[in-house]
Amino acid sequence: MQFLHLALSLLTASTTVFAIEPLTIKGRKFFQNDTQFYVKGVAYQPQVDAEVTSTVIDPLADANNKNCSNDAKLIRSLGGNSIRVYSVNASLDHDYCMEAFKNESIYVFLDVANPSTGIDRANPTWTLTQYDSYKQVIDVFSKYNNTAGFFAGNEVVNNATNAASAAYVRSVVRDLKSYIKSKNYRSIPVGYAGADIPVIRNELAAYLTCNATNTPQDNATEADFLGYNNYEWCGDSNFYASGYAARTNELQNITVPIFFSEFGCNIIHPRIFTEVQAIYSKNMTDVWSGGIVYEFSEEVNGYGLVNITSTGERVKSVDFDNLKKQWATVNPEKVSKHSYQPLGNAPECPARNETSWAVTFEAFPVTPNASLCDDAVKNLRCSVNGDPEGAKIGQVFGELCFYDQEACADITSDPYNGRYGKFSGCTGKQQLSLALDAYTKHHGDDACSWGVYIAKLLLDNISPPRNKTVPPFIDV
């Protein structure tokens, strides 16, 4: 373990303008100019002394402390060429940090969601509220040439039983791609980072990249790349024992770039990172484009390459040096973009199956549409005032839809059968108004006050009664 002392000259930002060539994709490979690019990345989300709050600690908004430029140099010295950032606050200024990473030729893969805007696998939604927050991230980061790609989701789907959430991921991908195009931004790819779940990994990869012929036929809805968070190689494993050989074989027909969006099992300490030899070897480079090591800073889960002290100093761990040695010795074969011939057709879409893949590819969630929703809530007989909290709104739906499923038809969805309510992309508040109004149409005007009554109970943390005594008009 050694202390890192940065010379003063390194702290003074150079004023030289340094260009970085935006990454592009052809077939299943990344390119920088005409040369293939392999990701050698580090997950970067220091959470120094973070308390669990809803505030996003944005690692790319730290202009005052120069941490980004120091860290960019450190990651460059490690041999890295990319970072992955999980969560940013789009309202902050990111110029300083993005420039600092660019100056070290480091690309940024960025998750568009933060903990409060991501897709909930148990109760997936794709709403205006989410779309707007993702758009803000894209508006900010699409201007940087070193933005390598956006992750539309991270580990959303984790079981065949919640495969429905994959339909939502695919819709997010579709809509972010179309948004980027509509704004004439650089064509930054949009992908997904998946958890390594044996029962669904092949279905999920196919589902997100397959050619669903009911959608536009110009790669407009497929994921542009796939990340796998994979911790199978622990200690001094090998290509076969680790599962890497099997994973490579399973993904051989995927037509987009794939890389490890997280790797670096820490069950055995210190980490020696021998998997790096396999990842950048001929055994894997046909299918894989490198990987991102989890993670830059030491946090409670113990994956840090550096320890950040209370004064902000970075203390390298032995893992840092081990990884550096491994990265320095690999030299993967690179194809040139102009001569590279992509694979043929995208894989078949996986068939729906109640137990092994509980969603159909024959329809996808609707694109959230602000004017459709605004028009729909004009002149309702019953609507919601104020600004109720999302979670509470969900509980009110629970009650309302329990009593009157039909009133909820336009705001709810059934991904297994490919039915998505036409207002399912509206904000929670709009949806509640629409459902209350439909309920009122079925049950008379008094029902509106019932809805308001239920909402009030829930907002006051009181469980509403589910029996015949109150209110009288409910037929249960």
Ligand X SMILES: *[C@@H]1O[C@H](CO)[C@@H](O)[C@H](O)[C@H]1NC(C)=O
46 is a contact residue toward ligand X (CB under 6 A): yes
Residues 158-197 interacting with ligand X (rule: CB under 6 A): 158-159, 161, 187, 189
d(CA 360, CA 350): 8
C-alpha angle 185-186-188 in degrees, rounded to nearest 5: 110
Q: Of these, 105, 353, 369, 412, which contacts ligand X (CB under 6 A)?
A: 353
Nearest to 160 by CA among 353, 350, 349, 356: 356
298 is a contact residue toward ligand X (CB under 6 A): yes
Catalytic site residue 262? yes
Which CA distances in Å does 397 have to 342, 424, 446? Answer: 47, 12, 18
3-state helix, strand, coil in the chain (%, to 5): 35, 15, 55
| 270 upstream amide cis, omega within 30 of 0 | yes
Nearer to ligand X, 4 or 380 (CB): 4
Task: Say if CB 271 and CB 294 are below 8 A apart.
Answer: no
Catalytic site residue 299? no
Query: Tokens at residue 192, please?
Result: 């997904």
Nearer to ligand X, 322 or 353 (CB): 353
From the CB of 222, what's the least distance to ligand X, in Å? 7
**What is the DSSP secondary-structure string of 412-443?**
-EEGGGTEE-TTTTS-HHHHHHHHHHHHHHHH
Query: Of the listed 155, 232, 250, 299, which one is catalytic?
Result: 155
22 is a contact residue toward ligand X (CB under 6 A): yes
> Which range in 226-234, 307-315, 376-384, 408-416 contacts ligand X by CB under 6 A?
307-315
326 is a contact residue toward ligand X (CB under 6 A): no
d(CA 279, CA 289): 8
Q: Of these, 2, 33, 329, 405, which contacts ligand X (CB under 6 A)?
A: 33
Amino acid letter, residue 85: V
Q: Of these, 2, 12, 14, 55, which contacts ligand X (CB under 6 A)?
A: 55
The helix or strand, by DSSP H or E, that contains position 454, with its residue range, turns out to be helix 446-459
322 is a contact residue toward ligand X (CB under 6 A): no
Q: SS3 of 227, please?
A: strand
Residues that are catalytic: 155, 262
Interface with ligand X by CB under 6 A: which residues? 19, 21-22, 25, 33, 46, 48, 55-56, 65, 67, 89, 91-92, 145, 158-159, 161, 187, 189, 211, 213, 217-219, 224, 239, 250, 252-253, 277-278, 281, 283, 298, 304, 307-308, 311-312, 315, 317, 345-346, 353, 355-356, 465, 467, 469
